[in-house]
């Protein structure tokens, strides 16, 4: 047996019957998938933008309450708006760089690897671009309130302040943990798989 025998057998193979395209089913599946994808995307965008705008609204309210002494809140608002801008930029970047299924195989694999590496970098540095601005904004808010109403604020009590800090530390730690888990369970295995694919494709020896 040699290559010609394989080629001959391959070319002589009969195609099975009954695989004709079922357009109504395909259309329904396509529409359901599109709806699901657009729905998920809309929910995510609205959640991110909505959460950011809600926090900004709350900070504006604080500033208004604190009057002129609330000027440091401008920094907190800038941090949150910067974070919203970062999310939006990331979303546009991902859409711009995404390659369709009709791209050449190598280009598609390399684009997917680049995107996963980028996602991995974002997850690894989540403390810098997400947690630090959030913590900074909260710290500014607390400092502004303490400065304006020193006698009233319960955060002057060390136990309350400690509890407040511990609560946010726990929340931030959980966020970091969830991100690390996503990196370990989803991004890294997929990246390994795609890198192996690229290695297979490029190894000529």
Partner 1 sequence: MSPPPPSESVFTSWVEEHRGILVKVARSFTGSPADAADLQQDLMLQIWMSLPSYRGQAKPSTWIYRVCLNTALTWRRGTARRERLVEPGADLGRLPARGASPAEAAGQRDLLDQLYQAIQGMPRFDRVLVLLMLDGLAYREIAEVTGLTENHVGVALTRARKRLAEMMKGAADELE
Minimum Å gap between C-beta 1 and partner 1 is 4
Residue among 77 and 109 whose Cβ is closer to partner 1? 109
| Inter-residue contact 153 to 110 (CB < 8 Å) | no
Q: Which residues here bind partner 1, judged by CB under 8 A?
A: 1-3, 5-7, 9-23, 25-27, 29-30, 33-34, 38, 100-109, 112, 197, 200-205
* Structure-token pair, residue 188: 């890294």
Distance CA 191, CA 23 (A): 35
Residue among 10 and 96 whose Cβ is closer to partner 1? 10
- 3-class secondary-structure state, position 149: coil
First-to-last alpha carbon distance for the chain, in angstroms, is: 24
Residue among 12 and 67 whose Cβ is closer to partner 1? 12
Minimum Å gap between C-beta 43 and partner 1 is 17
Residue among 28 and 177 whose Cβ is closer to partner 1? 28
Residue among 49 and 103 whose Cβ is closer to partner 1? 103
Which of 134, 94, 128, 129 minimizes the C-alpha distance to 112? 94
Minimum Å gap between C-beta 196 and partner 1 is 8
Minimum Å gap between C-beta 123 and partner 1 is 21
Residues 6+ apart with CB under 8 A from 154: 160
77 phi and psi angles, rounded to 5 deg:
-65, -40
Distance CA 125, CA 52 (A): 20
| Inter-residue contact 81 to 56 (CB < 8 Å) | yes
Distance CA 96, CA 74 (A): 32
Minimum Å gap between C-beta 49 and partner 1 is 19
Residue among 31 and 156 whose Cβ is closer to partner 1? 31
Minimum Å gap between C-beta 85 and partner 1 is 23
């Amino acid at each position: 047996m040699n290559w010609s025998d394989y080629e001959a057998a391959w070319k002589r193979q009969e195609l099975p019957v009954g695989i004709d395209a079922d357009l109504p089913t395909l259309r329904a599946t396509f529409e359901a998938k599109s709806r699901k994808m657009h729905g998920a995307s809309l929910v995510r965008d609205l959640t991110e933008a909505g959460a950011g705008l809600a926090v900004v609204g709350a900070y504006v309210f604080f500033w208004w309450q604190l009057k002129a002494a609330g000027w440091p809140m401008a920094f907190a608002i800038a941090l949150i708006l910067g974070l919203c801008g970062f999310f939006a930029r990331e979303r546009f970047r991902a859409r711009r760089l995404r390659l369709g299924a009709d791209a050449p195989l190598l280009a598609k694999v390399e684009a997917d690897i680049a995107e996963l590496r980028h996602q991995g970098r974002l997850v690894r540095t989540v403390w810098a671009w997400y947690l630090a601005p959030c913590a900074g904004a909260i710290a500014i808010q607390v400092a502004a309130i303490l400065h304006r109403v020193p006698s009233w604020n319960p955060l002057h009590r060390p136990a309350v302040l400690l509890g407040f800090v511990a609560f946010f530390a726990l929340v931030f730690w959980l966020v970091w943990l969830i991100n690390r888990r996503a990196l370990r369970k989803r991004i890294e295995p997929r990246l390994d798989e795609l890198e192996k694919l690229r290695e297979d494709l490029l190894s000529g020896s």
